[in-house]
Structure 1
Amino acid sequence: MPIEAIEPQRLYRQISDQLRKLIVEGEFAVGSRLPSERDLALQLGVSRPSLREALIALEVEGHIEVRMGSGIYVCPPVQRERRIDLSSEEGPLELIRAREMIEGEVAYAAAQHGSKQQIAAVEEAYALMISNAQAGIDPLEADRLFHIRLAEATGNSVLVGLVTQLFDARLGPLFKRLHSHFDGTRVWQEAIDEHALVMEALRQRNPEQARAAMRRHMDIAFTRYSANLIREYGDRVQQQERPRKRAVRKSDTQLK
């Protein structure tokens, strides 16, 4: 038998693999509620953001259902032909951190080197975000245009391709499902306000301010998507469920 290369697994996939195994083996019965995020994270020895990415993956695959105000429940077995392949999907929260690092420097370079026409093009995309939001149109495409035009203002085609690739990664099933739990008019207005600070720094040709504003935008996005999946669930319900939760076996919690 030929030796095959070992693929290093993303952490959220390691977590989702273990939870999926427990579900398939009946440790969590169909229709039962999973332990709280807090308890699962403690038992698995992982951060809650990493656990959250794993839960989103299991939801996309159809193994669990997130019910706002109630909990996370185990679904009936997924038919093979309906399974979704997530092997190429990056973790949404890791994507945001990567964008924070890269696009902060992109904003710095755009404020420093962007031409008058290029800055005007970014401003046009920003105005489109506002008008779309006001008209009840999803501002996502205008948001994408803003970030790509910002990269174009650096004069570096490699950065344009990288920013485009990173932004388009959020169009995958994992990020879409995560976004669906937190999307709304208020969230978009907050995001537009965050873009306004980047835009103001560009107008003033202030690279340091542009970098700080972009990093702040991405940091807020990370915090936003790191919130509990069950926002209305609350500590009171979590405390009530602890005595009757199913424990994750220790042998299944040794993540690397």
Structure 2
Amino acid sequence: MPLQTVEPQRLYRQIAEQLRSLISKGEFAAGTRLPAERDLAKQLGVSRPSVREALIAMEVEGWVEVRTGSGVYVLDRSVRASRSKGPQVTLTEWGPLELIRARRVVEGEIASMAALQARRKDIDAMRAAIDMMVTDANRGVLPLDGDRAFHSAIVEACGNVVLIETVQSFWDSRRGPLFTRLTGYFETMKSWQSAIAEHEAILAAICAHDGPAARTAMHTHMDKSHSRFSASWRRAKTS
């Protein structure tokens, strides 16, 4: 297959562009299944998460359809035209998995700072956010509001406006179609129960004013979040 190694700059968009070009040239006909994620990653010389982000972007834009448990299939032009009228992935949208890696670096240090600086009102805000997450999860609602409130409370405890606005930008990016579609495949009530427990561990370290432990707990949370979004398509939505 005439694929070319790509450079790591807005990587998922470069991958998607190559695949769209091949589809347009007839390399992959409508109705055919694309090569497996791992095979595309090997031929392109990139990571599987980057390929996943590209495939999700292409699905949002109506080029392919992801069939859980089966694979990724090329759509015909008429279906692609109708689907492309929905929300589109912008040129500046961050890749969700790349975003999680960036959050690991930044929010790990933020958690460490918060452990040393958090006051009672900050701790109370973190606890209230987790309680909100638990309530929503028990109602069968994805607890995104409580999740954002928790991470916002941590950064606000640091009292640094630049960090606060940085974390807000991370969360604003979750509203994009790429992250929304990925969430639809890989976030379940079971995965959120695990995430809530990870938040509890972060809060416990902050309450103990243990900076290194808070950093480690945040790193663990982000690593597990990355793993959940990187699960096999065949395992998505099985729980």
Name the CA distance, whole Å, in 2 between partners of 1:70 and 1:112.
49
Residue 81 of structure 2 corresponds to which residue in structure 1? 79
2:32 counterpart of 1:28: no
Residue 18 of structure 1 corresponds to which residue in structure 2? 18
Contact 1:100–1:218, Cα closer than 8 Å, also in 2: yes
Contact 1:66–1:230, Cα closer than 8 Å, also in 2: no
Name the CA distance, whole Å, in 1 between partners of 2:231 and 2:177.
19
Please show how residues 1-256 of structure 1 align to structure 2 within 5 Å.
9-77=9-77, 78-79=80-81, 82=85, 84-231=88-235
Name the CA distance, whole Å, in 1 between partners of 2:15 and 2:141.
36
Name the CA distance, whole Å, in 2 between partners of 1:86 and 1:148.
25
Residue 3 of structure 2 corresponds to which residue in structure 1? none
Name the CA distance, whole Å, in 1 between partners of 2:165 and 2:35.
42
Residue 4 of structure 2 corresponds to which residue in structure 1? none
Structure 1 position 12, deviation (Å): 0.8
Runs of 5+ unmatched residues, structure 2: 1-7
Residue 249 of structure 1 corresponds to which residue in structure 2? none
Contact 2:62–2:81, Cα closer than 8 Å, also in 1: no
Name the CA distance, whole Å, in 2 between partners of 1:85 and 1:223.
23
Aligned CA-pair RMSD: 1.6
Name the CA distance, whole Å, in 1 between partners of 2:227 and 2:220.
10
Q: Secondary structure at the match of 2:233?
A: coil
Contact 1:65–1:72, Cα closer than 8 Å, also in 2: yes
Percent same amino acid at aligned positions?
A: 51
Runs of 5+ unmatched residues, structure 1: 1-7, 233-256
Name the CA distance, whole Å, in 2 between partners of 1:74 and 1:95.
27
Name the CA distance, whole Å, in 2 between partners of 1:230 and 1:134.
26
Output one character per residue of 1:153-183: Cα deviation in whole Å (capped at 9) or x when no partner: 1111211111111122122111111111111
Structure 1 position 138, deviation (Å): 2.2
Structure number with greater CO (CA < 8 Å, separation at least 6) is 1
Q: Scaled by the length of structure 1, what TM-score is found?
A: 0.84
Name the CA distance, whole Å, in 2 between partners of 1:231 and 1:25.
32
Structure 1 position 9, deviation (Å): 4.5
Structure 1 position 85, deviation (Å): 4.1
Moved more, 35-44 or 75-84: 75-84
Q: Which amino acid aligns with 2:114?
A: A
Contact 2:142–2:189, Cα closer than 8 Å, also in 1: no
Name the CA distance, whole Å, in 2 between partners of 1:125 and 1:229.
31
Structure 1 position 76, deviation (Å): 1.5
Contact 2:111–2:211, Cα closer than 8 Å, also in 1: yes
Name the CA distance, whole Å, in 2 between partners of 1:133 and 1:127.
10
Contact 2:89–2:176, Cα closer than 8 Å, also in 1: no
- Larger gyration radius, structure 1 or structure 2: 1
